[in-house]
Chains A and B, each alone.
Chain A
Amino acid sequence: MAKFIEKLGTVDRRVIFLLMALAVILPLAFRMNLPIPIEEGPSKDLYDAIEALPPGSRVLLSFDYDPSTMPELQPMAVALAQHLMTKDIKIVSMALWPMGVSLGNEALTMVGDSLGREEYVDWVNLGYKTGGGVLIVRMGSNIQTVFPNDYDGNPIADMPVMEGVNKLGDFDMIISLSAGDPGIPAWVMMAGDRFNIPIGGGCTAVSAPQFYPYLGTGQMVGLLGGLKGAADYETMVRLEEDDAAPGTATPGMAAQSVAHLVIMLFIIIGNIAYLSTKQKKGGLR
């Protein structure tokens, strides 16, 4: 028995990989669904902050991620777009990451078409420009000098959605879906602190802990952290809108739940083996 426990502590990592793969695939294959309870927290704070915006408000949505983090952040983009467009809030989108533009366009086009929202009237995609924090500061004084045209090359000056929006301070909120740098910290420091604009965010689960200080000080109004944050938001949006399209984050929560349980199981097995070995060595002494 002792030898078996010791062997467990040195199990080949390929066994771990295999079990993890099964833990993720099986719940998705069997369409396992778990109820998503809505609790007070950063996800609800962001939802409430957007709910408080009156129709006709203008929100800047920045897609600061790339395809590798799409599984976590794209569901957030879709859910946010649904919420904003349903409330008749105008969306001006852009990206600080080059590949974020297409991903953002995909989300906005899909949601816009499903809700009958018109491009250039209800939303517009300004595209990508290099520069990160420097770009944000430049937008603080004049957006048109930074983005004279939108993603498709059309001048933004005469677009109805851009009416009255000349600089960052004209937005009612900025939301950054961020997978790294440039991302949320740049928006908080260069836009939120400088121009006093409410900042919301969405990020990968691994980055979420580092943004809690901004939530604590009120520099951010809310945060969607990882797939859980996306699933929370999808659930909250669906509660309000009966015909909202189902998201992709909610089904993923079952797989994530099982995966977490598998990891915890491995940690427990590893510790049992470790403590048994330690005890054995202690006994020999």
Chain B
Amino acid sequence: MRLAIPLTITFVAGMIMILQFFVPATQSLGESLQEWYMIVASFAIFLGAMNLITVHVHKIRFRAKNWKYSPVTIAGFAAMVLTGLFMGIETGRPFDFMFTTMMVPMGATMFSLLAFFVASAAFRAFRASNWRATLLLASAFIVMLGRVPIGSMIWNRIPLVSEWIMQVPNLAGQRAVMIGAAMGMVATSLRMIFGIERSYLGGTD
């Protein structure tokens, strides 16, 4: 019984969305469901915020492991929310200042770590252990050179070869993965809509 209600909701919502795609007369049903989804998704933001506060207050209260980081988290959260709510988010306001001077550089810094990790992963993992790996390595070199101006300085055809690799073998591989993954998604979705797959609801029958 515990699972019956969510399974029914899943089935009805799934069937409505499939139906409205093929039956234009039922489009308004689909649109209503989409509006419901947008409202529920907006509420989920509050759920996340409440959970964040609860977890960190709990850590501070019971002096859990690494509790000293929790006041920092709560202070940062409060600073952004309060300044945004009461002082506005336009350019020049404290919220915008914190966003451009703290959030933006921090986010870019984390993303920049990839450059270092790509180098160390490439050094460790790219081995010409057989002819397939060697072919892959050669393609990687051509594409890496083709994506920067130095490639055309070395040989003016490198960008063309690089573009061919992207547009032919790469495209074929990407299509194969996409089609396979799409088939997997269709099958998984059908299993969920018809209630065959239930473990994501927390348990079986």
Contact = CB atoms under 8 A, between A and B. Distances in A.
A268 to B, nearest CB: 9
Interface bracket on A: 35 or more
Contact of A260 (B126, B147, B166): B147
B126 A267 contact: yes
Given A20-B116, A263-B144, A212 B167 contact: yes
Contacts of B128: 271, 274-275
A39 B148 contact: no
Nearest to B144: A260
B126 A226 contact: no
A13 B169 CA distance: 32
Interface in A61-102: 66-71, 99, 102
Given A130-B41, A267-B137, A212 B122 contact: no
A30 to B, nearest CB: 16
Interface string A1-43: 0000000000101001101110010000000001111011100
A257 interface: yes
A281 to B, nearest CB: 13
Contacts, number: 152
B51 interface: no
A269 to B, nearest CB: 7
Contacts of A19: 119
Given A67-B107, A70-B104, A213 B174 contact: yes
Interface stretch (B32-40, B61-69, B190-198): B32-40
B37 A68 contact: no
Given A34-B153, A130-B41, A270 B127 contact: yes
B47 interface: no
A70 B108 contact: yes
Given A205-B147, A270-B126, A67 B103 contact: yes
B13 interface: no
Interface string A257-280: 101111110110111001100000
Interface in B102-138: 103-108, 110-112, 114-116, 118-120, 122-124, 126-129, 137
Given A37-B156, A215-B167, 17 more contacts: A39-B160, A67-B99, A67-B105, A70-B108, A99-B103, A102-B96, A130-B38, A135-B38, A138-B35, A209-B166, A210-B178, A212-B166, A228-B147, A263-B119, A267-B137, A270-B126, A271-B137
Interface of B: 31, 34-35, 37-38, 41-42, 45, 89-91, 96, 99-100, 103-108, 110-112, 114-116, 118-120, 122-124, 126-129, 137, 140-141, 144-145, 147-150, 152-153, 156, 159-160, 163, 166-167, 170-171, 174-175, 178
28 contacts: A20-B115, A20-B119, A24-B115, A34-B148, A39-B159, A67-B106, A70-B104, A70-B107, A99-B99, A105-B91, A109-B91, A130-B38, A135-B38, A138-B31, A138-B34, A141-B31, A209-B166, A209-B170, A212-B167, A212-B171, A257-B148, A259-B115, A260-B148, A260-B150, A263-B122, A266-B123, A271-B127, A274-B129
